[in-house]
A and B are shown apart, each in its own frame.
Chain A
Amino acid sequence: MSEKIQMERHNYDVVVIGAGGAGLRAAVEARTAGLRVAIICKSLFGKAHTVMAEGGVAASMGNVNENDGWKVHFRDTMRGGKFLNHYRMAELHAKEAPDRVWELELWGALFDRTAEGKISQRNFGGHEYPRLAHVGDRTGLELIRTMQQKIVAMQQQDKKDHGDAESFIKVFAEVTVTEVLKENGKVSGVYGYKRENGVEVLFEAQAVILATGGVGKTFKITSNSWEGTGDGHALALKAGGNLVDMEFLQFHPTGMVWPPSVRGILVTESVRGEGGVLTNNKGERFMFKYIPDVFKDKYADNEAEADRWYVDQDNNRRPPELLPRDEVARAINTEVKAGRGSEHGGVFLDVSKRLTEEVIKKRLPSMWHQFYELAGVDITKEAMEVGPTCHYVMGGVEVDPDTAAAVGVPGLFAAGEVAGGMHGSNRLGGNSLSDLLVFGRRAGAGAADYVKQSQPTKVSESAIKNAQEKIAAPFKRTGGENPYSLHQELQEITHNLVGIIRTKTELADAINKIANIRKRIENVSVAGNRLFNPGFHLSFDLDNMLLVAESTAKSAIVREESRGGHTRDDFPTMDAKWRTLNNITSFNGKEVVVKQQGLPSMPSELFDLFDIHELEKYMSKEETAKGGR
């Protein structure tokens, strides 16, 4: 590559990296506040991973059960996260989610309805009442399309008012961001390249919003698309930001397990919400054996009561299939390891015995489709084989809850899966779509306030030159490591050593092996030229995934307890001391460093929402005696 570097230069008030739910919601808010916004998509506009969210968006509208309200949602969220959540994020989320859902309806979303014509709400694991607004099992697609079309509507208005549809919002599809740029400690823009032609692109901007989603591709078996490579997590670390609690990964209990090519693809929790039961190879409905003490008063311990709950929720406890995801995933893992699994190493999930063919096809159309076309299984007649799949990272960028501003990096914001704190040690189903709406909006507003109060910083020539050299590097080497093989090696390490069940020795082994891959990645070379070159793209994604894997392994080895999405075989119980601590990851340029930081404690108006006996299960005597702040 000896030709002269081609570079486009753009100037915006705010650059949103990521065009999933959080990014689009942030862009709408920032534009509404009068800012000029660039939206950077890793893929085409409208293809983000949010489209794969199936079950619904959690919001306590109370349309199906009027006892619901933000306080109940807040409690469920904190319980689900085993009280490691940042209370303020969980509070804002529970309070604002209904408004965010209703607003989508004004932008054209068409949710399924109740008999009275309101937005219908369905049951989901860990939610006390039917709470998930949904569109069959394609709710994420509805969110993306609605916000995509809202942005088009705003562009059409801008064309009428200003003569140019792209005068305030412009979408840059298929761009890889390699760096968040800073001058004098503040964000000054981002650098990257266009995938279709390799042309480099500089965005000068006062504020940058990370909305890059998750990290699933770090793992071998995942429900995530190729985009989930932890780009925003790594960009934040490299820009001087922190990640919080990266040890917490959600393994969704039900991914497809057969055939091998579809292993990991999500099977929505709605299957269980609609009445699907889990059985092992002995035909035993095993979840009754796995109800943890902290949930014993809320879940049925016998089949008769569990079955009655589907028709009478006020007088029966919930079926244990609807326990939070971490509990169900661990239970399936245990059953399979004990030799009670299905032929292909999963368990059985069956909805055909409770619902008719017509109802299944109506309520779970894409599940029917997915199993019929990819596995040759008709779920209206037979059971599905399912097993855990890496689905979501609870850990993420440390942010200020109210503004979504990244701690320690003025001008940087983060929202959605890339941000940490909201879900504690385990996320409830349905809380991710509401999270990205609530905090996407807050990030857009936070960035707008920041831009209005600060001065633009010019990007220096030396920063541009540094960024350019990094992009050129993989082409300058020849005969080096193959990025595809390194990616596979990394996935084997995380799968085998940093998976659902962890031990100190395996984690230490993982940390060494990841460090070894980090050395080898410096030799990655890629074939071909810059024109839409997946090997070239992967070499940058790989760097991001390595930083994420290192953060996860190093956080996991120090947290000597089991909680939510972090299970230590050598420390199998929760430890009240660790409930008060977050693991904070930072990057020193060579390796990631983990330190502990106190978790903010709840103010009394939130603390008092809980029964003290429930809090005693999680907190030390000193904490419960002290009460809220």
Chain B
Amino acid sequence: MAAENMNREVVLSVKDLKVNFRAYGGLVQAVRGISFDLYRGETLAIVGESGSGKSVSIKAILGILANNAIIADGSIMYDGMDLTKVKEDTFHEIRGNRIGLIFQDPLSALNPIMKIGNQITESLRLNRKMKKEEAKKVALELMKSVGIPEPEKRFDQYPFQFSGGMRQRIVIAIALAGDPEILICDEPTTALDVTVQAKILELINQIKKERNLSVIFITHDLGVVANMADRVNVMYAGKVVETGTAEEIFFEPAHPYTWALLSSMPDLHTKDRLDAIPGTPPNMIYPPKGDAFAARNAYAMKIDYEMEPPMFKITDTHAAATWLLHPKAAANGIEMPAGLKARIERMKRSGALNG
């Protein structure tokens, strides 16, 4: 798969993106220079805990950052345009029509007092100037394709008459209405039951294949990543700390933060107590000198507190920002924790990845 990606067409390219927020305490550096490419037809997962800057980065891509946000540096290239420089007056032609978004919380994402049908057809009628009947036909087709039974009847109902999973299907239908080529999923299953989660993920995979979508999938749930992703970016404190294919991230993780994330993921076989990551993420008004993860890192070295590690290339597709990969440190032979190693062996044997 790694080789395939190299030949593929890049649809979206983020270069050195920096996003700050003006807050009362000072300037919050939410995203501190991230770069990644999205290839056509792939699913790129962005993983990280709350406050790591993953949602902020996709909001920057969609041009829906809050008013107090500043894009300090970098570019987001899409179809020859730099999205960081597109004016708000014209951005709505890209949103929905070219890049769609699926929300975290389908319960609050739908307008409670507007009929479901109108919420799906609204942008078709406003932006594509479709006739009412024509838009309705498209909407019914979409509702059918996202698995809504009796779409004709459901078309005239209100959000409160739908269950959480059904609402998320509607949100997906709305995101697909503009026929986008990039679909961004911002933790689309966090607010749903586990059984419903699986169905929604299946649906996203299915429509991705049908429409040859390029998907950016934001989550903090590594189990979901294993099911969905071709490639993974691990983010911490506003930076990408490790990037690689799903196999590389799950089977050969290189960054201590990725180790910690994988160790804290529950599975059916581990009898030991799960490892939690000690401490909390740093205050991003005053990001620490050196590696931002150093203070929580059991493997931190002196240099981690002084200098920020660059990205060390491991393979053509795999890189991580940790001094452990520096030739001098690598000589010491620090390896991932034994428990995690055993767990990865189990995952390899059971074929946990289907991505």
Partners in one complex: no
Binding site for A on B (CB under 8 A): none
Binding site for B on A (CB under 8 A): none
